[in-house]
Amino acid sequence: MKFVLKFLLGVAVLLTVFFVFFRTQQSNDLSVGNLKNWASASSDQRVAAVKVAVAGDGDIDLIVACVNKMATLPDSHEMIVRDAISLCYTGIVLKENI
């Protein structure tokens, strides 16, 4: 009886430790999330993610609008936000240099 109780208590402790460990490993950074996370984020979080990704203040609204448009496309929810920001930023820079 004592063995079963100790075993169950040990399993419960291990499950709690694993749950806490994996829960703390999840990142709240929007730029490493996917476009599904982008769609549910607030506008302040979106602007902050773009500012971090492009390291500047130029064309932030245009990049946010571009990523918003990409998030509405079918089958785009698995794309990483950082990659979408990079594509939009590169397109804007190319358009300005033409």
Number of compact structural domains in the chain = 1
Does a structural domain hold residue 72?
yes
Instruction: Determine the pLDDT at residue 1.
Output: 78
Does a structural domain hold residue 1?
no
Does a structural domain hold residue 7?
no
Does a structural domain hold residue 92?
yes
- Tens of pLDDT, residues 42-78: 888 899 889 888 887 778 999 999 999 999 998 888 8
Task: Label residue 25 by pLDDT band (50, 70, 90).
Answer: low
Instruction: Determine the pLDDT at residue 65.
Output: 94
3-state secondary structure 25-90: HCCCCHHHCEHHHHHHCCHHHHHHHHHHHHCCCCCHHHHHHHHHHHHHCCCCCCCEHHHHHHHHHH
Range of the domain at 41: 27-97
Does a structural domain hold residue 61?
yes
Does a structural domain hold residue 5?
no
Does a structural domain hold residue 43?
yes
pTM of the model: 0.69
